[in-house]
């Protein structure tokens, strides 16, 4: 079977979507299937193959001015047409609702190809990146002014945001996402709790749950004993604004009032790091926090066992691969009651759940966890048991079954939409323009670094 992927984010950029795509394609190619992955061009670190049976086609792209890590893929209708004609996919799998995902679903309609869409990311919860004040770089302005000790605070920034905060963006983004997934033949949700949310969002197409899975041979934990003297807290992931690491740091500052020898390690890189360092410095706890930076996923399984508990305040996890990795290694966890997190962190069983943004309760629960050695050991055992239900091999079995089922929908009606007509007469984005204009954009973006 030939499977064609469309994704607006992929390796060498590391995130949950990229890891999921890599894991499933590498496992399924061992079963005789063939993959083509359409992904953005990043530059350094790009590759066009992942061993035998997995080819990667790169598309020219720019980036969102308010968030450089979000790629905006330029139209390449002739390239997509060529890929489909040469590769002849049995099924197309859309992994993101960005522009490349939109191009992909338009192509499947035009050529009548059975289509699956995975709801990896809650794009409506990332509306801050297209907000008025971020696009105008007012957050950088406030940061610059603060260097000169002017009395401007994040509250002042939020006043500007209110001008653009009537939920219009969120509703528009949600409508765009729903439209894309309702044009697929089947929608995949990484968790049961997210499936429930997608039904509330109004998704009309059938939804099936397929966990992103975990290599439990690598992320394999033993029941832990609490380090009561100087407990070590851990947060792992992309350090971007929507992950709410500032809430974790606020909670940690409260934990230190009761457990002064506790430490917090943050593994990962991203645009929020500078502001988090400033926050820790203003709270006078910078010496208690280690910003470890980016670590390859291939090394992470060696690091989780060195810590006592995992903590996250993210409110937009569709599954939460780093949480799954942490509990698979035996760590109890602290999280918030949002989307899929309670599916991995069972309140009172392998950790505790607080309300979103409630850093005081997060601190209280963390202190409770780090003060009860016997219960801590029970939680560690429960974490390993909960993670065992996400064994990668089982998830690959289910994904293969889904592919075969959807690929059997032969004779799908071809559609000629307005967007298809527009793309059919549009040439591919020219190389000379992309190189020239992107260099100018990069110079503008980096002007004050």
CA atoms within 13 A on the CB side of 85: 6
More confident residue, 153 or 401: 401
Residue 110 confidence (pLDDT) above 80: yes
More confident residue, 83 or 16: 83
pLDDT at 146: 46
User: How large a percentage of the chain has pLDDT more than 70?
Assistant: 80
Least-confidence region, from 14-23, 27-36, 383-392: 14-23
User: Directed axis angle between helix 273-282 and helix 245-258, to 10°?
Assistant: 30
Distances in whole angstroms, Cα of residue 106 to Cα of each of 148, 327, 435: 50, 39, 26
Q: What's the whole-model pTM score?
A: 0.75
DSSP reduced 3-state for 267: strand
- Helix H or strand E encompassing 209: strand 207-209
pLDDT at 338: 85
Residue 26 confidence (pLDDT) above 50: yes
More confident residue, 51 or 441: 51
Distances in whole angstroms, Cα of residue 307 to Cα of each of 129, 140, 228, 235, 302: 33, 34, 12, 10, 11
- Helix H or strand E encompassing 265: strand 263-267
Summarize pLDDT for 400-449 with one digit per residue, the tens.
999 999 999 987 877 766 566 565 655 666 654 444 444 444 444 444 44
pLDDT at 134: 44
Summarize pLDDT for 205-238 with one digit per residue, the tens.
999 999 988 889 899 889 999 988 899 999 999 8
Summarize pLDDT for 55-108 with one digit per residue, the tens.
999 999 887 665 566 778 988 989 999 999 999 999 999 999 889 999 999 999
Question: For residues 341 and 360, is the Cβ–Cβ distance under 8 A?
Answer: no
């Amino acid at each position: 079977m030939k499977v064609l992927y469309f994704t607006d984010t992929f390796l060498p950029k590391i995130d949950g979507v990229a890891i999921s795509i890599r894991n499933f394609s590498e496992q399924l190619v061992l079963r005789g299937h063939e993959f083509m992955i359409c992904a953005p061009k990043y530059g350094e670190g790009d590759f066009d193959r992942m061993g035998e049976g997995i080819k990667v086609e790169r598309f020219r792209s720019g980036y969102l001015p308010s968030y450089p890590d979000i790629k905006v893929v330029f139209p390449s209708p002739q390239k997509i047409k060529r890929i489909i004609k040469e590769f002849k996919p049995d099924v197309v799998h859309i992994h993101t609702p960005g522009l490349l995902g939109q191009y992909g679903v338009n192509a499947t309609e035009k050529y009548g190809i059975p289509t699956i869409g995975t709801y990896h990311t809650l794009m409506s919860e990332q509306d801050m990146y297209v907000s008025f004040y971020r696009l105008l770089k007012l957050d950088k302005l406030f940061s610059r002014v603060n260097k000169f000790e002017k009395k401007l605070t994040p509250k002042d920034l939020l006043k500007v945001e209110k001008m653009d905060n009537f939920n219009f963006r969120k509703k528009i983004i949600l409508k765009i996402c729903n439209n894309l997934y309702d044009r697929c033949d089947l929608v995949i949700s990484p968790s049961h709790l997210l499936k429930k949310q997608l039904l509330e969002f109004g998704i009309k197409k059938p939804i099936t749950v397929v966990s992103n899975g975990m290599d439990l041979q690598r992320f394999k934990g033993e029941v832990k004993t609490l380090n009561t003297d100087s407990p070590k807290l851990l947060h792992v992931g992309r350090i971007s604004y929507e992950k709410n690491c500032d809430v974790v740091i606020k909670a940690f500052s409260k934990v230190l009032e009761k457990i002064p020898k506790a430490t917090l390690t943050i593994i990962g890189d991203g645009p929020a790091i500078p502001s988090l360092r400033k926050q820790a410095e203003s709270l006078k706890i910078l010496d208690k926090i280690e910003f470890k930076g980016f670590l390859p996923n291939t090394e992470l399984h060696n690091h989780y066992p060195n810590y006592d508990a995992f903590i996250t305040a993210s409110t937009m996890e569709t599954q939460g691969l780093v949480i799954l990795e942490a509990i698979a290694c035996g760590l109890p966890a602290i999280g918030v009651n949002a989307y899929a997190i309670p599916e991995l962190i069972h309140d009172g069983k392998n950790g505790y759940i607080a309300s979103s943004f409630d850093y005081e309760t997060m601190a209280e629960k963390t202190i409770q966890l780090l003060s009860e050695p016997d219960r801590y050991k029970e939680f560690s055992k429960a974490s390993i048991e909960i993670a065992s239900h996400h064994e990668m091999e089982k998830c690959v079995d289910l994904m293969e079954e889904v592919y075969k089922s959807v690929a059997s929908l032969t004779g799908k009606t071809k559609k000629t939409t307005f967007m298809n007509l527009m793309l059919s007469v549009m040439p591919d984005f020219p190389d000379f323009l992309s190189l020239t204009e992107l260099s100018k954009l990069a110079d503008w973006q980096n002007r004050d670094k």
